[in-house]
Amino acid sequence: MLKVAQIGIGYWGPNLLRNLVNNKNISVMMVSDKSAERRAFVNNKYPDITVTDNNDLIFKSSDIDAVVIATPVISHFDLSMQALRSGKHVLVEKPMASKVKDVREIGDLAKENDLVVMVGHTFLFNSAVRHVKSLIDSRELGDIRYIYSQRVNLGRIRNDVDALWNLAPHDISIIQYWLGDSEPATVNRQGMAYVQKGIDDVVFLNITYPNGVLANIHVSWLDPHKIRRMTIVGSEKMVVYDDIAKDKIIIYDKGIDRIAVLGENMDFDNPGTFTFDNRSGDEIIPKIDWVEPLKTEIEHFVDCIKNGTDCITGPSHAAKVVHILERA
């Protein structure tokens, strides 16, 4: 059994803890939180787990193999480094840190101590996201032309990070995963703070890649609708991935095809003899076997520790996501 402790049991923490407890290869030893109310929540729901407000008890315990960190972003670097220095594997919520240099320092220490460090980019363990990845890699969609996403809602307002750092890591990590962690050529951001001074509530992020792929990400806390949708436009087919829809993926056999027409000199090769056809074919809804992504994420964390499997959300991937956020 992998003996695990969790630091932080706030908004996302209960979901992590539930999946840790339900994993047959994990024994949850301890949970730490500054809030007496949150510690009481753990005590009532999981009476066999020790609760504390002192993180040092976790770091100093020789019985704990790994630490899961679900705290505000500003604390990720320090807590991850303390866990690694105490010889423990780390799963930290997104983003891994707020600076690329900090992510790299975390990665270097993990490598030096032969420990696993992983960031919780949960959507990379989503079966629908992985299905889109297979469509891209198999070139069923043709050449990828552009991707755009909307991750908007009315609330939840944060005061420790802006909407970009709160919401966009999901979309950036997904796009980077789909495109093979390519390095963007340009990153441009336009945002505005309406509710809290200096904290943007809405951000439009534009990314271009060297191969001509465009990506646009729209994130907001000030929108009348809850939308979690990404559209991928390829030269052969197009895909809509909607995380809150019943049908998570719809593949559209649509596109613009260039058709040669006969020229005056019986010539099909003259550039002036081409016309364009608006192709509109079938709409395909693939069957997606749904597994809670967080369950798969925890299983991957255990697999990386026990079997040495390469971590798909390790420091290399985490650094590229944070680098884009920093550039923005």
Q: Evaluate if residue 172 carries a pLDDT over 90.
A: yes
Q: Evaluate if residue 271 carries a pLDDT over 60.
A: no
- pLDDT, one tens digit per residue, over 231-248 is 999 999 999 999 999 999
Q: Evaluate if residue 163 carries a pLDDT over 70.
A: yes
Q: Evaluate if residue 57 carries a pLDDT over 90.
A: yes
pLDDT at 273: 56
Cα gap 251→183, rounded to integer Å? 27
pLDDT-derived band at 170 (thresholds 50, 70, 90) equals: very high
Q: What is the 3-state secondary structure (H, E, C) of the chain?
A: CEEEEEECCCCCHHHHHHHHHHCCCEEEEEEECCCHHHHHHHHHHCCCCEEECCHHHHHHCCCCCEEEECCCHHHHHHHHHHHHHCCCEEEEECCCCCCHHHHHHHHHHHHHCCCCEEEECHHHHCHHHHHHHHHHHCCCCCCEEEEEEEEEEECCCCCCCCHHHHHHHHHHHHHHHHCCCCCCCEEEEEEECCCECCECCEEEEEEECCCCCEEEEEEECEEEEEEEEEEEEECCCEEEEECCCCCCEEEEEEEEEEEECCCCCCCCCCHHHEEEEEEEEEEECCCCCCCCHHHHHHHHHHHHHHHCCCCCCCHHHHHHHHHHHHHC
Averaged over 170-179, what is the pLDDT? Answer: 97
Q: Which residues contact 25 (CB under 8 A, 6 or more apart)?
A: 1, 2, 302, 306
Percent of the chain with pLDDT over 90: 87
pLDDT-derived band at 266 (thresholds 50, 70, 90) equals: low
Domains of the chain (ranges; CATH) run: 2-121+297-310 (3.40.50.720), 124-284 (3.30.360.10)
- pLDDT, one tens digit per residue, over 103-160 is 999 999 999 999 999 999 999 999 999 999 999 999 999 999 999 999 999 988 988 8
pLDDT at 281: 81
pLDDT at 278: 76
- pLDDT, one tens digit per residue, over 247-262 is 999 999 988 777 766 6
- pLDDT, one tens digit per residue, over 285-308 is 999 998 999 999 999 999 999 999
